[in-house]
Amino acid sequence: MCHLTNNNEDSLRGKGELWRTKTIEDRRTRRLTENERALIETIQTLDGKYPNLLVIVEGKRDVSVL
Whether the predicted pLDDT of 4 surpasses 60: no
- Higher per-residue pLDDT: 27 or 1: 27
Closest CA to 66 of 34, 44, 51: 44
Residue 6, pLDDT score: 60
Q: Taking the model in full, what pTM does it have?
A: 0.47
pLDDT digits (tens, 9 = 90+) for 14-58: 777 887 887 777 766 678 888 888 988 998 899 889 988 888 888
What are the sequence ranges of the domains in the chain? Answer: 1-30, 33-66
pLDDT at 8: 62
In degrees rounded to 5, what are phi and psi of residue 27? Answer: -65, -40
